[in-house]
Amino acid sequence: MSNGYPTAGRIPTLAERDVIPADELDDYERTMAFVVKYSAGNSVSDARRYVDGEPYALSYRKAWTNAPRLKATLLDASYALTAYQGKRGWFSPADHEWIDLVLGFDSGYWAFHAGHTANAISAGIRLEAMEAIRDGCEDLLTEDEAFVVRFIRGVRDGEITDDIWSAMSIRLGSVKGTIGFAYFVCVMWTHHRMMWAMGVPAMGATEWGQMVDAYRSGAQDPQAATQDYVWSTLRDSRE
């Protein structure tokens, strides 16, 4: 299990606006908007567990200010995917959150977990299912949970078969949605690897377990720590 990762010395610090080329200033402002959103003082950030003394993913957002055009391309990919999330024929909010959980649990680098655990609970993923993945007790997953995890791993590891692809297309109700889900795995894998490469801090197993226990007992409210896009896509899925 993960023992956590402290903030690395290599992590890029916030780039000042005056060093950004003129043709990247719009992208810089988009990136800075996420720095503000993930900073202390934002209600969702404040409701989440801090990681190595900072709000979840804040250092990651700051690091991207040094390459705002590249960050903008990732933002566009994420926006394109979340625009479809929860709609008929596409992946659900829970499917999305499974990606973040599985990538972290499997690699031992739990960089997403301080934020996405609350998102996952609000999206309907069972705490027991998360713990089953953590503990290697995947026989405790439902058939559908196990299939989603298998698909995510298959995309990540290059092990998708015709049968898995066909079954996901039937489950989602469209080939387009299956392409989108596979693409989302790749996008989140890019974020996961970039966080690791830049040296973004990550939770450890003990800290994550304490957070989950607090959510389970009601000592902390996962809904307060859930990002706005989760609520909007859950609403879309009910319409």
% of the chain with per-residue pLDDT over 70:
98
pTM to 2 decimal places = 0.95
pLDDT in tens, 51-100: 999 999 999 999 999 999 999 999 999 999 999 999 999 999 999 999 99
**Are 82 and 119 spatial neighbours (Cβ–Cβ below 8 Å)?**
no
Q: How many CB atoms lie within 10 A of CB 235?
A: 10
**CA–CA gap between residue 67 and residue 31 (Å, rounded):** 9
pLDDT of residue 108: 96
For the chain, give the mean pLDDT: 96
Domain positions in the chain are: 17-238
Confidence band for 236, pLDDT divided at 50, 70 and 90: low
Q: Work out the angle at residue 77's Cα, subtended by the Cα atoms of residues 228 and 86, and round it to the nearest 5 degrees.
A: 50
pLDDT of residue 3: 85
pLDDT of residue 7: 97
Neighbour-count burial of 95, counting CB atoms closer than 10 A to its CB (0-12 exposed, 13-18 middle, 19+ buried):
buried
Q: How many CB atoms lie within 10 A of CB 75?
A: 17
**CA–CA gap between residue 120 and residue 222 (Å, rounded):** 9
**CA–CA gap between residue 38 and residue 184 (Å, rounded):** 21
pLDDT in tens, 152-191: 999 999 999 999 999 999 999 999 999 999 999 999 999 9
**CA–CA gap between residue 80 and residue 96 (Å, rounded):** 13
Tell whether the model's pLDDT for residue 235 goes beyond 80. no
Confidence band for 231, pLDDT divided at 50, 70 and 90: confident
pLDDT of residue 232: 82
Q: Work out the angle at residue 92's Cα, subtended by the Cα atoms of residues 189 and 149, and round it to the nearest 5 degrees.
A: 50
pLDDT of residue 1: 72
Query: In terms of residues, how long is the chain?
Result: 239
Q: How many CB atoms lie within 10 A of CB 224?
A: 13
Q: Where are the alpha helices (DSSP H) in 68-174?
A: 68-84, 93-107, 113-123, 127-135, 143-157, 162-172
Confidence band for 237, pLDDT divided at 50, 70 and 90: low
**Which residue is it, tokens 């979840």?**
56
pLDDT of residue 234: 81
Long-range pairs of 76-84 with CB within 8 A, sequence gap ≥ 24? 77/183, 77/187, 78/187, 81/180, 81/183, 81/184, 81/187, 82/229, 82/233, 84/177, 84/180
pLDDT of residue 229: 85
Confidence band for 233, pLDDT divided at 50, 70 and 90: confident
Tell whether the model's pLDDT for residue 20 goes beyond 60. yes
pLDDT of residue 239: 55
